[in-house]
Amino acid sequence: MNRTALLRWVGVHALGVAAALFFLLPFVFVLLTSLMSDQQALTRDLTPDTWEFGNYAKVFDTPGFLTWWKNSLLYAGLGTLLTVLSSIPVAYALARFRFRGRRLSLMLVVSMMMLPPQVVIIPMYLFWVKQLDLGGTLWPLIIPMAFGDAFSIFLLRQFLLTIPDEYLDAARVDGCGELRTLLKVVLPMAKPGIAAVALFQFFYCWNDYFGPQIYASENPAAWTLSYGLESFKGAHHTDWNLTMAATVLVMAPVIVLFFFAQKAFVEGVTLTGVKG
């Protein structure tokens, strides 16, 4: 390595470390504060004098916390399953079939994808709560996922387009119908795409705040973690330590899941942008 190259290496990596600190320090401070005693959490100290791992036990003891966990898992798990099942055939049709109105359908999918949920919330609320009496539950959020999700359809379609036609033609020559082709040939090849869509949808549900706020706010037994979390600061007033412990517990599952499925996830993010 010559002198300039060495200097450049140092410069680039110094910048990298600085950026890493910016991205990492908030996590570190949150974690450290979550382990402070009640008294110390009221001070400006950065590191705990005594490490109060009991704070996490206190969070779990908070009435409702375990129920919110269960609700988040139900919403995210069932929501993801329904979304994937209902979006696959739609994405397949949009990627492979030739039919009139295909371009229009695609444009509508993209429009729905970009639509803020608040645009249609009043009629939807009246429909689910006034007509079907499902207020105070998460069903108004879960049921629609059985009818395809625009973003998932779009992403899956982009992925299915990358599967070479030859495989499908071969299946057809072997006498497979479209459904058999989809199940036996396309799905196994589309696993990374399906994994990405499932992850995105899981995170969407896990993170959703607006939905539970609209439909479940009146009934704490139906709250999710993302919705219940903000009430921590209210219930514990200035106890930043417990609030931060709860924050860590909401972040943790998502980050653990990410480490298990990093490749699929990053591939999915890339797919949304680069194909555009």
Partner 1 sequence: MTAYTLRAKRRRSALRTAAFLSPWLIGFAVFFAYPLVSTVYFSFMKYDGFGAPTWNSTANWRYVLGSYTMFWPALRNTLWLVLVMVTCRVAFGLGVGLLITKIRTGAGVFRTLFYLPYLAPPVAATLAFVFLLNPGTGPVNSALEGMGLTAPGWFTEPGWSKPALTMLAVWGVGDLMVIFMAALLDVPKEQYEAAELDGANSWQRFRFVTLPNISPIVLFAVVTGVIQTMQYYTQPIVASKVASGIIGGSGQQFEPGYPEKSTLTLPQVVYNLGFQRFDYGSACVVALVLFALAMACTALLMRRSGGLVGAGER
* Footprint of partner 1 on 63-122 (CB under 8 A): 86-87, 89-90, 92-94, 97, 99, 103, 105-112, 114-122
Cα separation, 108 vs 255, in Å, equals 33
**Contact at 8 Å (CB) between 216 and 227?**
yes
From residue 129 to residue 168, what is the string marking binding to partner 1 with x (rule CB under 8 A)? -x-------------x-xxx----x----x--xx------
Binding residue for partner 1 (CB under 8 A) from 57, 170, 183, 269? 269
CB of 54 to partner 1, least distance (A): 20
CB of 176 to partner 1, least distance (A): 13
- 101: number of CA atoms within 13 Å, CB side? 3
User: Which C-beta is closer to partner 1: that of 50 or that of 162?
Assistant: 162
Q: What is the dihedral of CA 196, 105, 90, 147, to 10 degrees?
A: 90
**Contact at 8 Å (CB) between 140 and 129?**
yes
- How many distinct helices (H) and strands (E) make up the chain? 15, 0
Binding residue for partner 1 (CB under 8 A) from 67, 74, 137, 220? 220
Among the candidate windows 50-58, 166-174, 185-193, 199-207, which touches partner 1 by CB under 8 A?
Answer: 199-207
Q: Which residues contact 22 (CB under 8 A, 6 or more apart)?
A: none
Q: Which of residues 28-67 bind partner 1 (CB under 8 A)?
A: 29-30, 33, 41-44, 46
Q: Residue 62: name the closest of 252, 255, 243 by CA.
A: 243
CB of 197 to partner 1, least distance (A): 14
